[in-house]
Chain A
Amino acid sequence: MSDQTSDPQSQVQVRFTTRHADVAVPTAPILVPTTLKRYGLSEVINHLLDTDTPTPFDFLINGSFLRTSLDDYLTQNGLSRETVVEIEYIRAVLPPSHLASY
């Protein structure tokens, strides 16, 4: 049929939750590129918070830290891209200088 392989803007719905009330964002799902990693997701949260100084965040899916792209995570864990991915975020526990390596 048509080109099933070319997939320029693969997206997935995510929902962000946090236990830190001071950095909470709306819980409505957001469509994000599946190529996003920790840094990109951090950027999304900071965009939503609209603060002058960006805060680095860490992300947990099903209780484990996200260390790959969303795409790799979904593939490795056999998760559907048709499901809203629930993502919890916390203030990054690593010093900022180490964060660049992710």
Chain B
Amino acid sequence: DLDLDAMGDVEPTRTLEEARELWQRHEQSTQDLAIGLCEQLRLILEPTLATKMRGDFRTGKRLNMKRIIPYIASQYKKDKIWMRRTKPSKRQYQVMIAIDDSKSMAESESVNLAFETMALVAKALTQLEVGQISIVSFGEQTRLVHPFSQPFTSEAGTKVFQHFSFDQQRTNVRALTETSVSLFESARALQDIRAGGDELWQLEIIISDGVCEDHEALKRLVRRAREEKIMMIFVIIDALHGSRKDSILDMNQVKYETVNGQMKLNMSRYLDTFPFDYFVIVRDVKELPGVLSSALRQWFAALTQSS
């Protein structure tokens, strides 16, 4: 049931007209931010394209020192002594945006911020033209609401917005993670056939209030994704607009652990066990371009260190 066809039996939660109005409103309100984010991402994602100087040419940018002595010895006949910058191998990205559709999003008044974030990220990536975008919703069920294979247009954005209700009665981040990995696996297989030698990078941006269970199991899944070179960035929407002004930073969690055969209560800061290595906390959509690009920059830095 990962197919878009399966969406047919899921009733849209709002009419096309409502969704279009909603999409246009958020697309417009985040337009300037999207241009900014796009430019920041361009700086991060593009310079890493591998370019190398290669020989052997009659004209070029730099001398190939290995060819100088044969050149002289050959009475200046072996004159392919120059190196040129070769055409870089293209780097392609597949970016999946996963949005929390669970009821806690509505309870914490995160819905507006989620829509803004979705519009902002999708638009910026589309302008960047680095590859393909897909969108999934998660909660009790994980659903693919926009596949990699289709271009992300305003019409696609409208259709995506139609499918969010923020009324799912669970937040199964575990199922999301497992589903994402298998979606990425099949997307990679398709891309490899099409693109030949181009490098493919896979990135998932999860947008959620950050409240999820089973951190230990999630940690293992995130590690598995990393082994498959899938990067996951978790954007925690920390809505302080609610009347209580609660922040996820202040939240604690209670766990019971067996110590010497006895159950012992253990209380810790919720975020201390948060299973995603790269997460950012956002309270206003204006902060997003900055925090998202710095998280990506960290990821690239870690990647170049480990390789």
Contact = CB atoms under 8 A, between A and B. Distances in A.
Interface of A: 1-4, 7-11, 13, 15, 26-33, 36, 43-44, 47-48, 80-84
Contacts of A10: 213
Contacts of B214: 8-9
A49 B169 CA distance: 32
Contact of A82 (B2, B103, B142, B175): B103
Contact of B175 (A4, A33, A47): A4
B140 A4 contact: yes
B16 interface: no
Contacts of A48: 267
Contacts of A15: 244
B253 interface: yes
A7 B244 CA distance: 29
A44 B213 CA distance: 19
B213 A1 contact: no
Contacts of B168: 82
B179 A1 contact: yes
A4 B214 CA distance: 13
> Could you say which of A9, A11, A27, A29 has the most chain B C-beta atoms within 10 Å of its C-beta?
A29
B123 to A, nearest CB: 29
B254 A81 contact: no
A81 B251 contact: no
Contact of B142 (A1, A43, A80, A84): A1
A28 B251 contact: yes
Contact of A43 (B211, B244, B265): B265
28 contacts: A2-B174, A2-B175, A2-B179, A8-B214, A9-B214, A9-B255, A11-B213, A11-B253, A15-B244, A26-B250, A28-B250, A28-B251, A30-B252, A30-B253, A30-B254, A31-B211, A31-B270, A32-B254, A33-B256, A36-B254, A43-B265, A81-B170, A82-B104, A82-B107, A82-B168, A82-B171, A83-B104, A84-B107
Nearest to A8: B214
A3 B140 CA distance: 11
Interface residues of B, number: 35
A90 to B, nearest CB: 20
Contacts of B104: 13, 82-83
Interface in B147-201: 168-172, 174-175, 178-179
Nearest to B211: A13
Contacts of B256: 33
B246 interface: yes
B107 A83 contact: yes
B107 to A, nearest CB: 5
B102 interface: yes
Top 5 nearest A-B pairs (CB, nearest first) are A82-B103, A31-B253, A28-B250, A2-B175, A82-B104
A84 to B, nearest CB: 7
Nearest to B268: A31
Nearest to B253: A31
A9 B213 contact: yes
A11 to B, nearest CB: 5
Contacts of A83: 103-104, 107
Contacts of A9: 213-214, 255
